[in-house]
Amino acid sequence: MHTVAVFDLDDTLIVEEASARSSLTEVAGLVPGVEPEAFAGHVLATARRLWYAGPSHHICRELGFASWEGLWATFEGNDPLVDELRAWIPTYQREVWTTALMAHGIDDPMLSVALPEAYRSAQRRGHPLIEGADQLVRSLAGRCRLGLLTNGPSDIQRLKL
């Protein structure tokens, strides 16, 4: 019999939710005349509202896909179960940023295109490890079998690894 240690990725081995919020705040700094943290909070609230109203919310809820993941995921390479979500995601991403900008009185089509790309770039720079995660995994390597399970969209989970 082999001993097995299985880990989750998001907010177990890597910082996920705080990284998403940090990326949102960074990108909000590109918007003239807004307080970045407040604008980031507005983007996140808008994302949640549109996510819950979206055509695939029931699937997202079952699979544990978060609204902030939808802001940078493409859902490419995922199961056909999420085909409807994959088709909707460009609309969702555009609507989140455009709606957040309009709520602050900003009607700038160029900014509506630049912000989602800036967010994707910020998220793709990587997610820091949770303190001690690296040491823990290394201490177990060779002593037991290691596994990683994650329920996030596979396209962005691969990038996080």
Q: pLDDT per residue over 30-54, tens digit each?
A: 999 999 999 999 999 999 999 999 9
pLDDT at 62 over 80: yes
pTM of the model: 0.89
What confidence tens digit (pLDDT) does each residue in 6-23 have? 999 999 999 999 999 999
DSSP the chain: ---EEEEESBTTTB--HHHHHHHHHHHHTTSTTS-HHHHHHHHHHHHHHHHHHSTTHHHHHHHT--HHHHTT---TTS-GGGHHHHHHHHHHHHHHHHHHHHHTT---HHHHHHHHHHHHHHHHT--PBPTTHHHHHHHHBTTBEEEEE--S-HHHHHHH-
Provide the pLDDT for residue 48.
Answer: 97
Break the chain into its structural domains and give their ranges. Answer: 18-128
Query: Whole-number mean pLDDT of the chain?
Result: 94
Banded pLDDT at 1 (limits 50, 70, 90): low
